[in-house]
C-alpha cells in the first residue's frame, strides 16, 4: 500500500506538470527537459537521459541529459549495436531494463564501467523504451553511480515518464498513453471492467443530461461465491468472477451503457431503454440468460447464477446515492426470494430491505469488533447428575434492538456468506474461555461448537483450528465439533481429509439435529463421527407421541449398531427424561437441567457441581 501511495503521489506530480499552462506551450525539447528534471528529482537518481534510435536500429544517440549536480548537460554520446547487442535486443523486446549491478546483468555487462553521462562510472541502470506511435524510437535511461535495488514504484514511475515522452512524439501515442496512465484509477485490475468510481461518474453524467433520459441500474451479485471459494478453492472462485465479468461485457443489447465491477462478487450495469425497442423486462431476461450458465472448470461443470436488483432513474431515485441503495436493496430482496432471479425496487420492500442491509453491516462489524458473546448449555450424564460437556451458543446483544436470538441473525449470516467467519469467531471465543478456565484451575468439560456447511467445506479449516489450539494452549480433546446432516451429504475426498485431520488432533465429531436432514448409514459408517444429537423436535412430545417414540428408538438402535453415543436435546420434563433413560440414551441436554448461561455462571456450575 505504501508503494502504491508513493506512485500515486509521483503520478499526481507528473499530471500537474503535464496539464499546467506553461508546460503546454513549451516546445518538444523544452517539455523533455522539464520531464527529465522532474523524474530525476522524484526518484533521486544521479543522471537521466533521453536517447534516440537510428532508423536502421543500429545506433543509439544521446539527445538530452540531466544530472543531479549539474542540471541539463548536452554532451553527445553514441552506442552501437555491434558492441551492445544484448542491450539493443532487450529494448526491441520492449523490456524494462532494471539492473542493480551493470556488470552482472547480461543486458548491460558490455558497458563495463563506461560512462553514459559525465565520465563517471555507472553501477545501476533503469531503462525504459520510448516509442513514436508503435515504433521503438529510443530509450529513457536512469543511472546511479552506486548499486541500487529498483522498487516497483521506481519502475512504474520511470515507465510513466517514458510513456509521456512517447506521447509527446505523436498525438496518437499521447492519446493511448493517457488512457494507460488513467487505467489504474478507472478500471478493475482483475476483470478489466470499469470500477465503482467510473460507475458513479457515469451515473452523474446521465443524471445531469438535459432533458434527463430515464435509465436503469442493474446490481448483480454472484450467488454463493463464498461457498465456492471454501469448497473448491479461491482459484475456482476467481474463475467464476472472471467468467461472469466476461459474460456481462459480451452482452449485446441496445441501450446497454456500461458494466462495472463494484465489489468482490458484485457487478453493475447501466441500461438506457431505447424508445420502441422493448422493455426493461426483456433486457433483464436476456442478460440473466447470458450470465446464468454453467462454468467449465477443467472437465467439471459448475452451476453458477446471479441475483439482480433493478432500480430506475428518475422513478425510484433522482440522486446517485439513493439509486445505488435502491438497486442493492432490490438485489438483496432477490437473494431472499431464492436467488437466481431479478427483483425490481419498490417502496413496499424498501423499509425492510434497508433494515436488512443495515443489519448485515452491523453483523459484519459485530464479528470484527468482538461484540458478540457466547453462552454455554451443560450436557448431562444419563443419570442427570454430572456435567459431561457443554454446547457453545452464540448470542448478540444489539446496541439498539436489544437481545437478538440466533434465529434472527444466523439466517442472515448464511445468506450473506458470513456464517463460516462467524463459526470461526465462536471457535476462537470457546478456546479463549477454555484457557480462562485453565487459569482459574477449573477442569472445563469438552465444549461442543456448531459448524456450518461453509465452514466444514473449507479446506483450510483444520489449519485454522490447529492455530487456535496452539494460540490458547488448548488440547483437541477439549473441543467437540457438531455439523448438521446436510453439511456432509456431498461427501468428498477433501471433506474426509479435513475430518480426519480434526480427529488426529483429538477432536470429537458429532452430527447435530440428527433425523432432520439427509444422511445414510454408509456415510455415517465411513466418516469419523462418534456422537449423534437427536433433534429436539423428536423429543418434545415424548413419550406420548408414538411416531416420535418410534423415530427416537430407531436412532438409538442405529447408534448402538454403529458404536456411537447419543445426546437428546430439548429435554424439559421428567417424563421425557425417564423414557430416554429407560431406552439407553447416553446424554441429556435441555431446560430441565440448565438454560444457556454466561461463562461466569457456567464456571459457578462447575465449582458447585
What's the chain's length in residues? 609
Q: What is the DSSP code (8-state) at residue 111?
A: G
pLDDT, tens digit, 9 for 90 and up, residues 36-76: 999 999 999 999 999 999 988 899 999 999 998 888 988 88
pLDDT, tens digit, 9 for 90 and up, residues 494-517: 788 889 999 999 999 998 877 655
Peptide bond connecting 138 to the previous residue in cis, omega within 30 degrees of 0: no
pLDDT, tens digit, 9 for 90 and up, residues 540-552: 999 998 888 988 9
- Which of 311, 445, 314, 328 lies closest to 378 in space, CA to CA? 445
Q: Per-residue confidence at 11, pLDDT binned at 50, 70, 90?
A: confident
Full DSSP string of 288-343: HHHHSS-EEETTEEE---EEEEEEEETTT-SSHHHHHHHHHHHHHHHHHTTSSSEE
Cα distances (angstroms) measured from residue 88 to each of 55, 82, 163, 332:
13, 9, 19, 57
- pLDDT tops 70 at residue 348: no
pLDDT of residue 118: 45
- pLDDT tops 50 at residue 261: yes
pLDDT of residue 354: 58
- pLDDT tops 80 at residue 171: no
Least confidently predicted of 161-165, 310-314, 415-419: 415-419
Q: Per-residue confidence at 447, pLDDT binned at 50, 70, 90?
A: very high
Query: What topology does CATH give the domain 2-185?
Result: Beta-Lactamase (3.30.450)
What whole-number distance in Å separates Cα of residue 488 and Cα of residue 364? 27
- pLDDT tops 60 at residue 144: yes
pLDDT of residue 393: 94
Listed by start position, the domains of the chain span: 2-185, 196-345, 378-393+419-608
pLDDT of residue 277: 46
Q: Does domain 378-393+419-608 have CATH number 3.20.20.450?
A: yes
What whole-number distance in Å separates Cα of residue 603 and Cα of residue 605? 5
**pTM score > 0.85 for this model?**
no
Mean pLDDT, to the nearest integer, of 457-463?
A: 88
pLDDT of residue 181: 61
Residues 527 and 499 sit within 8 Å (Cβ to Cβ): yes
C-alpha cell at 219: 446490481
pLDDT of residue 117: 44
Residues 47 and 66 sit within 8 Å (Cβ to Cβ): yes
Q: Does domain 196-345 have CATH number 3.40.640.10?
A: no
Q: Per-residue confidence at 450, pLDDT binned at 50, 70, 90?
A: very high
Residues 101 and 115 sit within 8 Å (Cβ to Cβ): no
> What CA dihedral angle connects 553, 555, 556 and 561, to 10 degrees?
130
C-alpha cell at 192: 478489466
Same fold for the domain at 196-345 and the one at 378-393+419-608?
no
pLDDT of residue 413: 83
Amino acid at each position: 500500500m505504501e508503494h502504491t501511495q508513493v506512485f500515486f503521489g509521483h503520478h499526481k506530480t507528473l499530471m500537474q506538470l503535464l496539464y499546467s499552462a506553461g508546460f503546454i506551450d513549451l516546445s518538444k525539447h523544452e517539455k523533455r527537459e522539464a520531464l527529465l528534471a522532474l523524474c530525476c528529482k522524484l526518484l533521486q537518481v544521479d543522471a537521466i537521459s533521453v536517447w534516440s534510435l537510428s532508423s536502421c536500429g543500429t545506433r543509439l544517440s544521446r539527445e538530452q541529459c540531466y544530472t543531479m549536480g549539474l542540471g541539463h548537460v548536452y554532451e553527445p554520446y553514441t552506442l552501437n549495436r555491434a558492441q551492445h547487442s544484448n542491450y539493443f535486443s532487450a529494448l526491441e523486446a520492449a523490456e524494462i531494463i532494471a539492473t542493480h549491478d551493470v556488470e552482472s546483468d547480461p543486458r548491460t555487462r558490455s558497458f563495463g564501467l563506461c560512462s553514459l553521462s559525465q565520465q563517471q562510472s555507472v553501477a545501476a541502470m533503469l531503462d525504459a523504451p520510448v516509442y513514436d506511435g508503435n515504433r521503438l524510437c529510443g530509450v529513457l535511461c536512469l543511472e546511479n553511480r552506486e548499486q541500487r535495488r529498483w522498487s516497483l514504484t521506481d519502475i512504474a514511475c520511470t515507465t510513466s515518464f517514458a510513456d509521456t515522452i512517447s506521447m509527446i512524439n505523436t498525438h496518437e501515442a499521447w492519446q493511448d498513453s493517457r488512457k494507460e496512465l488513467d487505467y489504474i484509477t478507472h478500471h478493475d485490475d482483475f476483470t478489466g471492467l470499469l470500477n465503482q468510481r467510473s460507475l458513479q461518474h457515469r451515473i452523474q453524467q446521465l443524471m445531469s443530461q438535459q432533458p434527463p433520459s430515464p435509465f436503469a441500474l442493474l446490481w448483480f451479485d454472484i450467488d454463493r461465491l463464498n461457498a465456492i471459494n471454501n469448497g473448491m478453492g479461491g482459484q475456482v472462485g476467481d474463475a467464476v468472477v472472471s467468467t461472469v465479468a466476461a459474460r456481462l461485457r459480451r452482452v449485446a443489447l441496445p441501450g446497454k451503457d456500461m458494466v462495472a465491477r463494484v465489489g468482490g462478487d458484485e457487478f453493475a450495469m447501466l441500461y438506457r431503454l431505447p424508445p420502441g425497442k422493448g422493455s426493461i423486462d426483456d433486457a433483464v431476461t436476456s442478460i440473466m440468460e447470458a450470465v446464468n450458465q454453467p462454468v467449465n472448470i477443467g472437465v467439471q461443470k459448475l452451476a453458477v447464477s446471479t441475483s439482480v436488483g433493478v432500480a430506475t432513474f428518475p422513478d425510484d431515485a433522482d440522486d446517485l446515492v439513493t439509486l445505488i441503495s435502491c438497486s442493492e436493496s432490490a438485489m438483496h430482496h432477490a437473494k431472499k426470494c431464492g436467488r437466481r432471479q431479478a427483483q425490481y425496487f419498490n417502496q413496499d420492500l424498501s423499509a425492510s430491505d434497508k433494515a436488512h442491509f443495515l443489519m448485515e453491516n452491523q453483523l459484519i462489524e459485530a464479528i470484527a469488533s468482538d461484540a458478540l458473546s457466547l453462552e454455554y448449555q451443560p450436557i448431562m450424564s444419563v443419570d442427570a447428575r454430572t456435567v459431561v460437556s457443554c454446547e457453545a451458543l452464540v448470542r448478540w446483544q444489539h446496541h439498539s434492538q436489544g437481545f437478538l436470538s440466533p434465529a434472527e441473525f444466523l439466517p442472515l449470516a448464511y445468506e450473506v456468506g458470513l456464517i463460516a467467519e462467524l463459526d470461526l469467531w465462536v471457535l476462537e471465543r470457546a478456546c479463549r474461555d477454555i484457557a480462562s478456565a485453565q487459569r482459574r484451575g477449573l477442569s472445563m468439560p469438552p465444549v461442543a461448537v456448531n459448524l456450518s456447511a461453509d465452514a466444514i467445506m473449507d479446506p483450510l479449516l483444520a489449519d485454522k483450528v490447529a492455530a487456535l489450539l496452539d494460540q490458547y494452549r488448548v488440547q483437541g480433546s477439549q473441543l467437540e465439533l457438531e455439523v448438521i446432516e446436510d453439511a456432509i451429504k456431498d461427501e468428498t475426498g477433501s471433506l474426509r481429509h479435513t475430518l480426519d485431520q480434526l480427529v488426529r488432533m483429538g477432536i470429537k465429531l458429532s452430527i447435530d439435529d440428527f433425523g432432520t436432514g439427509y444422511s445414510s448409514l454408509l456415510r455415517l459408517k465411513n466418516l469419523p463421527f462418534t456422537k449423534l444429537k437427536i433433534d429436539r423436535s423428536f423429543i418434545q412430545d415424548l413419550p406420548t407421541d408414538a411416531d416420535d417414540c418410534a423415530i427416537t428408538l430407531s436412532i438409538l438402535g442405529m447408534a448402538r449398531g454403529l458404536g456411537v453415543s447419543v445426546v437428546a436435546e430439548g429435554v424439559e420434563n421428567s417424563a421425557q427424561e425417564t423414557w430416554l433413560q429407560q431406552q439407553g440414551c447416553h446424554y441429556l441436554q435441555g431446560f430441565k437441567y440448565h438454560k444457556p448461561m454466561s461463562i461466569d455462571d457456567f464456571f459457578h456450575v462447575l465449582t458447585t457441581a
